Amino acid sequence: QMDFKGHFALDAGRCHPLTVLDDHSRYAVGLYACGDERTGTVQGRLSEVFRRYGLPERMLMDNGSPWGDDGTHPYTPLTVWLLRLGVGVSHGRPYHPQTQGKDERFHRTLGAEVLRY
Q: What is the pLDDT of residue 3?
A: 87
Q: What is the pLDDT of residue 113?
A: 72
pTM over 0.85: no
Instruction: Give the ranges where 3-100 is alpha helix by DSSP (H).
Output: 39-53, 77-84
pLDDT average per 10 residues of sequence, the chain (117 residues): 82 87 90 92 97 96 78 83 95 73 72 69
Range of the domain at 78: 2-116
Query: What is the CATH classification number for the domain harbouring 112?
Result: 3.30.420.10
Tally the domains of the chain. 1
Q: Residue 53 carries which side chain, given as an amino acid letter?
A: Y
Q: What is the pLDDT of residue 99?
A: 65
